[in-house]
Amino acid sequence: MIKPKLLEQFLVEPGTTVNLKHFATDWTETEAARELGKDVTKERASEILAESHKRLDAAQERLYASDTHSVLLIFQAMDAAGKDGTIRHVMSGVNPQGCQVYSFKKPSTEELDHNFLWRYMKALPERGRIGIFNRSYYEDVLVVKVHPEWLGPGQPTHPDAKFWEKRFEDINNFEKHLTRNGTLILKFFLHLSKGEQKRRFLERLNNPEKHWKFSEADMAEREHWKDYQKAFEEALSATSTKRAPWHVIPADRKYAAHALVADTVTTAILNLDLEYPKVSPEKMVKLEEARARLENKDPADSVEPPPA
Ligand code: AMP
Ligand code: MG
């Protein structure tokens, strides 16, 4: 487990103005990594990830049993930052029945004909479950801020600052509504450097098994790197709240991103202090009756011995 104090440095303090240059993309340069010591290190990160798997599996079972809360994990990032891999690694220890992942793509015509939160509302996790948004309503203040022409029909062609402020307000109110109704929300921005994105794109081009992952559109978006970083800074500044905080996770080293996200998620769920439901005295009597029957004290429940 990473000390909560060390995890705090990845948190966007509510009400602050984010400058992404002040957040590390390489975890070995962070205070947390230095404190973890010796070889800062893949090995230590994989221990943390393994520990988290056990704790997360137990936390998830409690979440399911208590049926009072749901968990919503939001992942946003530039292309090739490792959203898919992080989700796969972090959730690999968890009972698949207790979680669900939605990957949001370009909205359909039907989706564009509704309010911008509509398609996300339909995908929210029910109580007892962990829901993961691989991209989310934050795309509606990120990609469409860089490309307002993708906002869809009935929307302004040149949205002004007020337009985006209203969307931030809608998002904050939406998240307030969700948390008031028992949803724990954690948001992760996987912070990748431009150099590392280049290396990962080249790896996709050089490895035939990774060709499918490469899209020309990703190259086009890379040209807008600065606009995206600015849009991220504005979104993180406006929407990191105590109830639904943003974490800026250094993503240049995949193993570190996996360990940091796993630890943050696990610790937050355990901090909910969920209890297994208490059994009523009437139910206790029923349980005892069932035990007596199964232990064959009741002839009505005797079992034929298996054939020899
Ligand atoms: P991928 O995650 O690589 O499969 O790509 C999904 C694509 O859908 C990305 O290019 C996103 O920017 C795009 N996308 C997701 N949500 C929206 C949205 N609300 N408006 C426009 N494009 C979106
Ligand atoms: Mg892609």
DSSP 137-168: GGGGGTHHHH-GGGS-TTS-SS--HHHHHHHH
- Give the ligand 1 atom nearest the CA of 147: 21
Q: For CA atoms 210, 216, 218, 223, give the dihedral sign.
A: positive
Tokens standing for 52?
Answer: 């988290």
How far, in Å, from the CA of 307 to the mean position of ligand 2?
59
Contact 90, 261 (CB under 8 A): yes
How far, in Å, from the CA of 262 to the mean position of ligand 2?
23
Take atom 12 of ligand 1 and give the residue whose Cα is closest: 143
Phi, psi angle pair for 185, to nearest 5°: -115, 130
Predicted pLDDT of residue 299: 67
Euclidean distance between CA atoms 190 and 204, whole angstroms? 19
Which residues form the pocket of ligand 1, taking CB atoms under 6 Å from any ligand atom? 104-107, 135, 139-140, 143-144, 150
Task: Please list the ranges in the chain whose pLDDT falls under 70.
Answer: 37-40, 297-299
- The b-or-e profile of 202-216 (16+ CB within 10 A means b, else e) is eebeeeeeeeebbee
Alpha helices, DSSP H only, in the chain?
Answer: 4-7, 31-36, 42-66, 83-91, 109-112, 118-121, 143-146, 161-180, 194-206, 216-222, 225-239, 254-270, 281-294
Predicted pLDDT of residue 23: 95
Tokens standing for 254?
Answer: 């995949």
| Percent of residues, the chain, with pLDDT higher than 70 | 97
Euclidean distance between CA atoms 31 and 229, whole angstroms? 23
Predicted pLDDT of residue 298: 67
Q: For CA atoms 251, 269, 71, 94, give the dihedral sign.
A: positive
Ligand 1 pocket test, pick from 83, 87, 104 with the greatest ligand atom count within 8 Å of Cβ, gives 104
Tokens standing for 302?
Answer: 């005797």
Q: What is the number of residues in the chain? A: 308
Q: Where are the domains of the chain?
A: 4-279
From residue 54, how far is each of 58, 61, 78, 122, 273 by CA, in Å? 6, 11, 30, 30, 17
Contact 186, 247 (CB under 8 A): yes
From residue 218, how far is each of 16, 22, 148, 251 by CA, in Å? 30, 25, 18, 18
pLDDT tens digits, one per residue of 22-75: 999 998 888 877 777 656 578 888 888 888 899 999 999 999 999 999 999 999
Predicted pLDDT of residue 160: 97
Euclidean distance between CA atoms 192 and 24, whole angstroms? 9
Ligand 1 pocket test, pick from 76, 120, 139 with the greatest ligand atom count within 8 Å of Cβ, gives 139
Tokens standing for 165?
Answer: 């402020």
Name the superfamily (CATH) of residues 4-279. P-loop containing nucleotide triphosphate hydrolases (3.40.50.300)
Q: Coil, strand, or helix at residue 248?
A: strand
How far, in Å, from the CA of 114 to the mean position of ligand 1?
17
Euclidean distance between CA atoms 119 and 110, whole angstroms? 10
Take atom 14 of ligand 1 and give the residue whose Cα is closest: 106
240-242-248 Cα angle (round to 5): 40
